[in-house]
Amino acid sequence: MTIEPISGLLATPTRIRTFDDDNGWRRFSTVCPFTRIARGRRRVQPHNVSWSHVKACGLAVLSRTARALQEAALPNSCAFCGTRLPVTVAPVCTACDRDLPRIAAACSRCGVPLATTEAGAASCGDCQRDPPPFVTTVAPLSYAFPVDAAIRALKFQRTLCYAAALGDVLLRSLPQLPPDIEALLPVPLHWRRQALRGFNQATELCRPLCRQAGFSILQQVARGRATPYQSGLDAQRRQRNLNAAFHVRDRIRARHVLIVDDVITTGATCRELARVLLDAGVAKVSALAVARA
Ligand SMILES: [Zn+2]
Ligand SMILES: [Zn+2]
């Protein structure tokens, strides 16, 4: 009887016994060279490998080959400076991420930046006078270079690599939001504008949240009226521009919905969308945007 140490992926090296039993079977433990999974203390015949283990090895080899091919065909690089990165990480390097214009303190209801002295206050003066229809608004970055340029390039030049980089910023902001959010609602575009652009930038920003945090996207809300661009309009015209812009096509089961947008300027779009959701029976609405202007 021998005592052998095994390590591999196990957090703490374990000592197990290896010995032959009466039927010529051997208890042993190995680390598979393909999956790098310790096969544990199992009673298996030497050189007799289970079908499920063969399948696991095959899948591991396939996924590694696919990743190597992806690395060669579609190399990942930082969206802001072009530094080459592994395909498994978001396309923003540590240096560019550190330089992004982060908002140090913001109103928890509307996301407007606050002077650091006010950081202790839960909400800004405007929200205390006229509470918005959201529980929480999170917009981690200010609408300044390079975020403004990235959002414009995403929307108007179809530079989709920014969606992955900024979507990763949204993913890392999730801990600041209430934990009971059940579904995401990217601000809908009118079908004609979406057809011309080829995509909805808010939906693209949601992809890392769906893939890594497991959220689903609400499909029941549509933009029924093609509204002119909000940029260049004052707050009152923005609100008038949005009246009856959205409608709910089907019953919404989620109780807490998170509205996702690229940038919140006056908050008029999010307010209108939140009002439509609350009218449709949603209990709570929060908002998440990359930047707050
Ligand atoms: Zn970079
Ligand atoms: Zn506020």
Q: How far is the CA of 99 from the centre of ligand 1 (A)?
A: 9
In this structure, what token pair is assigned to residue 35? Answer: 């999956």
Neighbours of 134 (CB within 10 A): 25
Q: How far is the CA of 93 from the centre of ligand 1 (A)?
A: 4
Residue 175 clears pLDDT 70, i.e. is over it? yes
Tell me what pLDDT residue 153 has.
95
Tell me what pLDDT residue 164 has.
93
Q: How far is the CA of 117 from the centre of ligand 2 (A)?
A: 15
Residue 286 clears pLDDT 50, i.e. is over it? yes
> 6 has which bridge partners?
14
Delimit the domains of the chain by residue range: 2-38, 55-99, 101-292
Residue 259's pLDDT band (cuts 50, 70, 90): very high
Q: What is the mean pLDDT of residues 101-124?
A: 83
In this structure, what token pair is assigned to residue 214? Answer: 């497991």
Tell me what pLDDT residue 177 has.
95
Q: What is the mean pLDDT of residues 136-150?
A: 96
Residue 11 clears pLDDT 70, i.e. is over it? no
Do residues 213 and 174 make contact, with C-beta atoms less than 8 angstroms apart?
Answer: yes
Mean pLDDT score across all residues of the chain:
82
Q: How far is the CA of 94 from the centre of ligand 1 (A)?
A: 7
Q: How far is the CA of 110 from the centre of ligand 2 (A)?
A: 4
- pTM, two decimals, is 0.74
Phi, psi of 142 (to 5 degrees): -90, 155
Q: How far is the CA of 209 from the centre of ligand 2 (A)?
A: 25
Tell me what pLDDT residue 79 has.
94
Residue 216 clears pLDDT 70, i.e. is over it? yes
Q: How far is the CA of 90 from the centre of ligand 1 (A)?
A: 11
Q: How far is the CA of 190 from the centre of ligand 2 (A)?
A: 28
Q: How far is the CA of 127 from the centre of ligand 2 (A)?
A: 4
Q: Which residue has the higher pLDDT, 47 or 264?
A: 264
Tell me what pLDDT residue 13 has.
34
- Ligand closest to the CA atom of residue 78: 1
- Ligand closest to the CA atom of residue 96: 1
Strands 141-142 and 246-248, sheet pairing? unpaired
Distance CA 272, CA 33 (A): 56
CATH code matching the domain that covers 101-292, chosen among 3.30.720, 2.60.40, 3.40.50, 1.10.3470 = 3.40.50
Whose tokens are 């650091």? That residue is: 116
